[in-house]
Amino acid sequence: MSILLQGIIAYPVTPFSADGGVDLNALDALIERLIADGVHAIAPLGSTGESAYLSDDEWEAVATASIRAVRRRVPTVVGISDLTTAGAVRRARFAEQAGADAVMVLPVSYWKLGNDEIVAHYRAIGDAIGIPVMLYNNPATSGVDMSPDLIATIFRTVDNVTMVKESTGDIGRMHRLAQLSDGTIPFYNGSNPMALAALAAGAAGWCTAAPNLNAALPLALVDAMRAGDLVRARAVFHAQLPLLQFIVNGGLPVTVKAGLRLRGFDAGEPRKPLLPLGDARTRELERLLAALPDRVTA
C-alpha cells in the first residue's frame, strides 16, 4: 500500500513582517529552503505556524501561499483547526480548493469535548471534503485527550480520517494504535524528543519543526532507522536531542523564530501574548546550533 506521507513532515513557522502582518515572501523562501533540504512533506498552519493567532484572512493567505510555494514537489498538509466546527469545516474546504493534499485537525475547544462531540467534529470535517484528514492528538495544547480507542473508532467510522499524529509523548499509545488497528493506522510522531522510539515502534513519519533550523539530522535519523542501524540512529538522535529539547521546552514558534534569526533568516517575532526568546536563552540556542555536527557517523 502506498502511503501519502512518510519520513520528515516539516512544519514551517509563519513569518511576520515588522508591522506585525504575515510576511508571505519570507514564507515562500522558508518553504523553498525546506524542500531544497529534502524534507518529505510541508505542513503549514500547525501549532508551529501560530495558526491559533491568525485572523481568518491571514490564515487563508498563508494556506494559499504555502500550497503555491510547494508546487506539488512534496505533499502539503494544511492545519485547519478552529474553535468551532463551522470554522474548521470552512477552513477544510478552503484548503482543499486551494490544492492541499491533506488537512490536519486538532480538536481545539474552549470547553472539554465528550467523545461524541469529538467524533461529530471529525465527521463534519470529513464529510465536507474529499481529501485525507490527519487526526492530531495533543492534549497539552488542545486540552482534549483522545485515547487510542477513540482514535481507532474515528479511524474506522470517518472514511477520510486516514492518518494519526500522536503528540502525547507516550510510546504506549502508538503500540496501542497499531494493536487496535492490526497495524493499519499510519501513525506519525508529533513529540520531538521521542522520535527514535516512535520510528522504532513503526511510525510512518515524524512531524517536526526542527527542519526550520536543521533538516539534515532528522532526515539522517529516518535513514538510519530504515536501515535498521540502531547504533547510528542513536548517535544521530543524541546529536540533535539537545536542540529538540530546547525548542520543545521553549515553545516552537518562539524558539524556532529565534533560531532562524541566528541562521540569518528573518521570520520576525512571534505574536503576543508570545514574547521573543530573551537574550540569555538566545545565546544558549546559538551554542546548541553551533554544536550540531555537519555529518553524523556512528
CB closer to a second copy, 98 vs 274: 274
Determine whether 136 is an active site residue. yes
Binding residues for a second copy, per CB under 8 A?
Answer: 47, 50-53, 83-86, 107-114, 116-118, 120-121, 124, 140-141, 143, 169-172, 175, 178-179, 183, 193-194, 196-197, 200-202, 225, 227-230, 233-234, 237-238, 241-242, 251-254, 271-275
- Cα separation, 189 vs 138, whole angstroms: 11
User: Is residue 113 within 8 Å of 107, Cβ to Cβ?
Assistant: yes
Strand partners, 161: 133
Least distance to a second copy, CB of residue 264, Å: 25
CB closer to a second copy, 69 vs 224: 224
Least distance to a second copy, CB of residue 29, Å: 24
- Cα separation, 177 vs 202, whole angstroms: 11
Out of 11, 53, 110, 136, which one is annotated catalytic?
Answer: 136
End-to-end, the C-alpha distance of the chain in Å comes to 32
For 13, which DSSP code?
-
Least distance to a second copy, CB of residue 10, Å: 19
CB closer to a second copy, 185 vs 225: 225
Nearest to 2 by CA among 127, 144, 162, 215: 162
Q: Helix count (H) and strand count (E) of the chain?
A: 12, 8
User: Is residue 267 within 8 Å of 213, Cβ to Cβ?
Assistant: no
Least distance to a second copy, CB of residue 266, Å: 21
Out of 11, 122, 165, 257, which one is annotated catalytic?
Answer: 165
Positions marked catalytic: 136, 165
